């Protein structure tokens, strides 16, 4: 009864609370599975830290050039262990996931090379990096071409189209694990491994890179354990555990990482420079907490899918499907419904709860975007957040939540706003 009183203090209607409670009753078994997943990955991270003999001295800092930063180097060894990779680059100087992807692409491609996406259209922010949308400094400006093989209508790989797209100049294959602002399925590590094996059977020297954003710790394996040469991601998503204030990572084959380090810094410098400037405690502790945080986000995604699917909205993935990232898309059908959903998520925030999200132009996106994100770290989408481009089919993308109670509150308030706006009947 006291708990219900707390929920009502946020303006939740009895009908909203009752409806959500009925959905939750059917999710207990799924939630237990995510607790098991968190336990497995937590032990994996602890083992990696112990094997690399992490000690208090590794939590120190460096400034200036960052020479002999033992904590930074040890952290990269831990990431390599966790991801089953040969080497890693984990730096606060990597500004975001898009920046990490750009570093890897620019490091490994040369004029005359071709980049292939076998999973269709890339995420919006990569269009200018590649040069699909003309932009200063794009790969296209350096004579690097791009080709894609679209997915089949059911979201599966079109292997014959991929075979035909691979040419002598094809150098690197980029695989986006998560759906981005699309309504296709996200890919499992097993599916990614099968795709990598297929393209390498055609051209063994192809470099296979996986955009791993939103996917870390959602399964017991990572793509580098299934044949990927590189995995790339952001520290203000899953692996930062909500504590990393900035940064990105690239893990994979040693020679690829060396080239990425040179691209991030300069020829002759590579991994030797790059001060940790006080970030190491949050990087280590964020990674330590990440499996449990990701499990909370997965519970929230399933809960959101269960509620909105039962109300008749198309949801991807469906409530009963396996999860390969933390993103839940809900097709709401109108700009007004998207705004109502996002305002509910914003109202649940501990930071900036009074802000009212509105669609606006954003750097790197062609459509206006609405974003709800009251976060301790700006733009952190491992924290409770929702966003989406204002375009057909008017889908909102919900993700994150550092704790299950916070995720639950956000979903309840999103339903409350839709109920108040007349978009749903309970």
Q: What is the per-residue DSSP string for 294-357?
A: HHHHHHHHHHHHHHHHHTT--EES-TTS--SSS-EEEE-SSHHHHHHHHHHHHHT-SSSTT---
pLDDT mean over 15-31: 95
pLDDT mean over 319-339: 96
Output the six-digit token pair for 95: 């500004």
Give the CA distances from residue 68 to residues 63, 106, 272, in Å, rounded to whole numbers and listed in that order: 11, 27, 7
DSSP 57: G
Give the model confidence (pLDDT) of 70-123 as tens digits. Answer: 999 999 999 999 999 999 999 999 999 999 999 999 999 999 999 999 999 988
pLDDT at residue 366 above 90?
A: no
Sheet with 248-252: strands ordered across: 87-91, 248-252, 230-234, 207-211, 170-176, 114-117, 145-148
User: What pLDDT is recorded for position 79?
Assistant: 98
pTM, full prediction: 0.95
Q: Are 213 and 234 in contact (CB under 8 A)?
A: yes
pLDDT at residue 140 above 70?
A: yes
SS3 content of the chain, % helix, strand, coil (to 5): 45, 15, 45
- Of 156, 175, 187, 167, the closest CA to residue 228 belongs to 175
Place of tokens 């300069």: 266
Please say whether the structural domain 2-42+290-420 has been given the CATH code 3.90.1150.10. no
User: What pLDDT is recorded for position 32?
Assistant: 96
User: What pLDDT is recorded for position 180?
Assistant: 78
User: What pLDDT is recorded for position 364?
Assistant: 65
Give the model confidence (pLDDT) of 317-327 as tens digits. Answer: 999 999 999 99
The SS3 of residue 87 is strand
- Of 375, 219, 398, 187, the closest CA to residue 294 belongs to 219
CA 398 – CA 395 distance, rounded (Å): 10
User: What pLDDT is recorded for position 11?
Assistant: 96
Give the model confidence (pLDDT) of 371-390 as tens digits. Answer: 999 999 999 999 999 999 99
Question: What phi and psi, each to the nearest 5 degrees, are found at residue 304?
Answer: -60, -45
Asked if 2-42+290-420 and 44-287 have one fold, the answer is no
User: What pLDDT is recorded for position 367?
Assistant: 83
CA 162 – CA 253 distance, rounded (Å): 24
Interacting residues of 289 by C-beta distance below 8 A, sequence separation 6+: 241, 242, 243
pLDDT mean over 253-281: 97
Write down the mean pLDDT value for the chain: 96
- Of 104, 112, 106, the closest CA to residue 145 belongs to 112
In the CATH scheme, what is the code of domain 44-287? 3.40.640.10
pLDDT at residue 124 above 90?
A: no
Spans of all domains in the chain: 2-42+290-420, 44-287
User: What pLDDT is recorded for position 125?
Assistant: 85
Give the model confidence (pLDDT) of 292-321 as tens digits. Answer: 999 999 999 999 999 999 999 999 999 999
């Amino acid at each position: 009864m006291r708990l219900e009183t707390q929920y009502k203090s946020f303006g939740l209607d009895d009908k909203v609370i009752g409806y959500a409670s009925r959905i939750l009753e059917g999710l207990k078994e799924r939630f237990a599975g995510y607790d098991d997943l968190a336990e497995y990955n937590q032990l994996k991270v602890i083992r990696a830290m112990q094997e690399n003999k992490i000690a208090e001295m590794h939590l120190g800092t460096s400034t200036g050039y960052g020479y002999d930063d033992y904590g930074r180097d040890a952290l990269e060894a831990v990431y390599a262990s966790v991801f089953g990779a040969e080497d890693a680059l984990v730096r606060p100087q990597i500004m975001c996931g898009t920046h990490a992807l750009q570093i890897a692409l620019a490091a490994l491609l040369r004029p005359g090379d071709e980049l292939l996406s076998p999973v269709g259209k890339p995420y919006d922010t990569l269009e200018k990096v590649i040069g699909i949308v003309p932009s200063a400094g794009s790969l296209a400006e350096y004579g690097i071409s791009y080709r894609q093989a679209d997915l089949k209508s059911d979201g599966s790989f079109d292997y014959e189209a991929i075979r035909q797209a691979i040419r002598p100049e094809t150098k690197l294959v980029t695989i986006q694990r998560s759906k981005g602002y699309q309504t296709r399925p996200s890919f499992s590590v097993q599916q990614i491994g099968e795709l990598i094996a297929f393209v390498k059977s055609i051209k063994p020297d192809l470099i296979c890179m996986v955009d791993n954003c939103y996917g870390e710790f959602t399964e017991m394996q990572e793509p580098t354990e299934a044949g990927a040469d590189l995995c790339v991601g952001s520290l203000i998503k899953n692996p930062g555990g909500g504590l990393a204030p900035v940064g990105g990572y690239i893990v994979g084959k040693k020679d690829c990482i060396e080239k990425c380090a040179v691209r991030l810094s300069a020829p002759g410098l590579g991994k030797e420079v790059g001060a940790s400037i006080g970030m190491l405690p949050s990087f280590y502790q964020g990674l330590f907490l990440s499996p449990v945080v990701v499990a909370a986000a997965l519970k929230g995604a399933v809960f959101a899918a269960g509620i909105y699917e039962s109300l008749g909205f198309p949801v991807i993935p469906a409530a009963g499907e396996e999860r390969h990232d933390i993103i839940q898309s809900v097709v709401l059908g109108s700009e007004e419904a998207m705004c109502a959903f996002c305002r509910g998520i914003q109202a649940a925030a501990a930071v900036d709860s009074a802000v009212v999200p509105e669609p606006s132009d954003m750097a790197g996106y062609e459509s206006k975007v609405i974003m709800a994100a009251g976060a301790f770290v700006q733009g952190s989408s491992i924290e409770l957040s929702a966003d989406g481009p204002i375009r057909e089919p008017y889908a909102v993308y919900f993700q994150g939540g550092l704790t299950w109670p916070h995720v639950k509150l956000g979903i309840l308030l999103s339903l409350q706003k839709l109920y108040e706006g007349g978009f749903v009947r309970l």
